[in-house]
Chains A and B, each alone.
Chain A
Amino acid sequence: MERFAELLDRLVLTPSRNGKLRLLIDYFRNVEDPDRGLALAAIAGDLTIAAVKPAMLRALVAERVDPLLFGYSYDYVGDLAETVSLIWPASPNTKADRPLSLAEVVERLQKASRSDAPKIIAGLLDQGSIPARFAITKLVTGGLRIGVSARLAKQALADLGSMAISEIEELWHGLNQPYTELFAWLEGRAPKPQSRAKALFRPVMLANPIGDGDLEKLDPAEYAAEWKWDGIRVQAVCEGDLRRLYSRTGDDVSGAFPDLADAMDFEGALDGELLVGSPSATGTFSDLQQRLNRKSVSDAMLKRYPAFMRCYDLLQAGGEDLRALPFLERRARLANFVDTLNPSRFDLSPLVAFDDWHQLEAKRSGPPHPIIEGVMLKRWDSPYLPGRPKGPWFKWKRDPHTIDAVLIYAQRGHGKRSSFYSDYTFGVWSGPEGAEELVPVGKAYFGFTDEELRQIDKYVRDNTVERFGPVRSVRADRDSGLVLEIAFDGLARSTRHKSGVAMRFPRISRLRWDKPAAEADRLETLKALLDE
């Protein structure tokens, strides 16, 4: 428990991503099973244990400490879990002859029923050291808040075993806590764990943006073009009686789209775009927004804004893994496969015919539907590869004057918006790989609906890092942050801004709840527009 507590403390105070990775890797390397696996589960947010309300902790401490002394202390410390961990009196009759292990703590907390949870927690607090007590109180009140995402933890595992993170992501849903087999494999002591679990996520293939001069080097005959639909990239996987709808980072989003999940009756894995409406009447992006960020979906919502999937690729058909096949072949198999599916929930993403780049450019700038944000270029001979390999796939966006930026600061608005955080400063990535930082590039205060304002406001409050008067800084790093698609009319050089650029008329054109912060644009992308 001590080492876990120490890890939590160091992670919170270590600002750099690489520093956090080092701490995680060292921990996983040095701590034995099953403690390290349980720590992994806790950090990834997958550990299920008895949860208690802060009020219960207060009640426990009130039985042991003078209320006035507790009051002075809590006022000073400001954090309940921390106050409790420090002020908890050393218990003379439960002297621990050996330190508590994380496994022991988790086991006792998992066995606890609602009625005996207080007694069990008090017993653990009696037995633990101060750092252990802090970790226990954080565990039981939910939310470690250590600034480490599940993805960063997976990156640490990948580094530990010198593997690609996609290998970990692919396995992840098939693994069981405390991940003993996984660690054995990462340490080279055992073969790769067999995926006993079904309907696993397959790491997604992504495209690079077309840059200046790229097109001249490409042969149009070697590429297929396809509309780039601006919905949510998803992967639909069915195996046996299991059906799962994954986001592009491997999160299971089936619960948010039960209508689509119910229609998934096939054996295989499809890559595509989740959209709202129907294949014959595709909805707009604001229709899609109605279905995002909702805890529960009402029947009315399901009727009015039904979800369907526009299919891009076929990764698995029955027992056959198609990913090594060329796109041309997968595409033919996909067309046949989609034919067998419910036509109101699945359709085939159409190809765009073209002879040369000029012709494609003309189509790109006049797309047939507003939710199209450009075209995709896919080499006919490309296998389906995880990650963002350079060369086989490109994206060519419609409007050069939009970028994806990350929300950094939010300020309270004025007038009727004074109770909301409605003025947003956003930034893009800059700096060398592995040490990227967000540089502020502009400020926007409109372009969103009232409902979206409420959602962003809630996000700001839930993810505040620091406050300075009316301004809050919002958690924004490679692993977590809110991506905003910013539209703007022009760009000028600026010596007044640290970024060196100033935007004309920036506004929020879209909230990209679905997009990982690390995939927001880089400053170079923005600067390239200066020369246009």
Chain B
Amino acid sequence: MSHAGASLSGRLPIRPQIPILQAMRASDLLCSRPEGLYCPPGDFFIDPVRPVARALITHGHSDHARAGHGAVLATRETLDIMALRYGEGFAGMMQAATFGETIMVNGVAVRFHPAGHVLGSAQIAVERNGLRIVASGDYKRQPDSTCQAFEPIACDVFITEATFGLPVFRHPPAHEEIARLLKSVAQFPERTHLVGAYALGKAQRVMRLLRDAGHDRPIRIHGALAKLSDYYVSQGIDLGALQPATVDDADRADFAGSIVIGPPAAFSDRWARRFADPLSCFASGWMRIRQRARQGGVELPLIISDHADWDELTATIRQTGAAEIWVTHGREEALVRWCELEGISARPLHLVGYEDEGD
């Protein structure tokens, strides 16, 4: 597996280990509450699932970024995306965080670092009295030219997601999957290739990958993707010619041979029926499992994920050098077991309310 981002091999420079109990207990710095991950000394939440007074948001996916908080601290892109989705007044107060810059919140040092998940996505490092916890949010290690690459941060406790936390999830390089899509387009030129991809991140990444593979025809997009795709373009990410996939029956034949991208939910409704002999494709890490493709009636599964696969998860855990791992957001048990086998202390962090919108 090759990665253009930070290398997966090798650990970060060793940080002097601070005896955790002596300084402060990790659970005193971050703990789980019904609203989400909470920092008592800083009095803030990370990605809370209910409205709270002060929220730090890792990225714009709707299960992490909700409307109605008093104050929100997030990257500029995440704030923009939230405004696009929820309207300008989505929170009482917004503050933009710059990658690498330290912000003090009630005596707790907070820093945002790129997570490589979607545009603007961040890990959040929380530090006090020499104890550093990094909440990864959602992240991946495969190269993605639509967002900044994941940066491994040395820490005492690493909170990792586990969406694909089973050793069977091994994502192939995304460009190989795009090559399969283009091969199918050449093989079935009379059919419309309908690609299901989530509206934020995945859709734009697929567009960009198609361009990188030399596909220069206009890409037809579902209306639900327009605003976010325009936003990506405004941030300097060239997606090539995009055209709305909304035309009357007279143009039906026009779609033959073209690639249409839409949110997966749109595939079951009338929207999908307008296309010439559609060939249904779905860009998702879940497509690794054949039964998932079969159940969804997917004819061409594309294993393209914005989450870390098993090998990326385990390599990242090693790389952070963290003595303790908290696992959340997916299949905790297998990753906890792996840590146990590796002699790393680990426990599941039971947070409620997260679905896999991003994949």
| Interface residue ranges, A against B (CB under 8 Å) | 6, 9-10, 12-15, 19, 22-23, 26, 65-66, 68-69, 72-73, 76-79, 82-83, 86-87, 130
Contacts and interface: CB of A to CB of B under 8 A. Distances in A.
Contact of A82 (B172, B289, B341): B289
A13 B188 contact: no
Nearest to B291: A78
Given A86-B168, A87-B168, A72 B334 contact: yes
Contacts of A87: 167-168
A353 B298 CA distance: 59
A140 B246 CA distance: 48
Query: Which 3 pairs between the two chains have the least Cβ-Cβ distance?
Result: A86-B168, A73-B168, A72-B334
B300 interface: yes
B293 interface: yes
B227 interface: no
B205 to A, nearest CB: 22
- Name which of B288, B301, B334 has the most chain A CB atoms within 10 A of its CB: B334
Interface in B160-175: 166-170, 172
Contacts of A65: 167
B231 interface: no
B331 A9 contact: no
A26 B186 CA distance: 11
B287 to A, nearest CB: 10
Contacts of B187: 22-23, 26
Contacts of B337: 66, 68-69, 72
B338 interface: yes
A14 B299 contact: yes
A13 B299 contact: yes
B341 A76 contact: no
Given A13-B301, A86-B170, 19 more contacts: A10-B300, A12-B290, A13-B294, A19-B299, A22-B188, A26-B187, A65-B167, A68-B337, A69-B167, A69-B334, A73-B167, A77-B168, A82-B290, A86-B167, A86-B168, A86-B169, A86-B288, A130-B170, A130-B172
A130 B341 CA distance: 24
A83 B299 contact: no
Nearest to B280: A13
Contact of A72 (B291, B293, B333): B333
Contacts of B291: 77-79
Contacts of A23: 187
Contacts, number: 62
B290 A79 contact: yes
Contact of A76 (B168, B290, B300): B168
A72 B331 CA distance: 10
A506 B244 CA distance: 52
A77 B334 contact: no
A68 B299 CA distance: 32
Contact of B299 (A6, A15, A72, A77): A15
Contact of B300 (A13, A66, A69): A13
Given A69-B337, A72-B331, A73-B334, A13 B168 contact: no
A69 B338 contact: yes
Interface in B270-296: 288-291, 293-294
B341 A6 contact: no
Nearest to B334: A72
A76 B289 contact: yes
- Name which of B167, B172, B291, B333 has the most chain A CB atoms within 10 A of its CB: B167
Nearest to B298: A13
Contacts of A13: 290, 293-294, 298-301
A73 B288 CA distance: 13
A130 B310 CA distance: 14
B180 interface: yes
Contacts of A9: 290
A401 to B, nearest CB: 38
Contacts of A82: 168, 289-290
Given A13-B300, A15-B299, A77-B291, A83 B168 contact: yes
Given A12-B290, A23-B187, A68-B337, A76 B170 contact: no
15 contacts: A6-B180, A10-B300, A13-B290, A65-B167, A66-B341, A69-B337, A72-B333, A72-B337, A76-B289, A82-B168, A82-B290, A86-B168, A86-B169, A86-B288, A87-B168
A278 to B, nearest CB: 51
Interface in B203-261: none
A76 B166 CA distance: 9
A73 B334 CA distance: 9
Contacts of A19: 188, 299
- Name which of B288, B289, B300 has the most chain A CB atoms within 10 A of its CB: B289
A130 B290 CA distance: 13
A516 B168 CA distance: 40
B38 to A, nearest CB: 30
A22 B191 CA distance: 13
Nearest to A13: B299
Contacts of A68: 337
B290 A72 contact: no
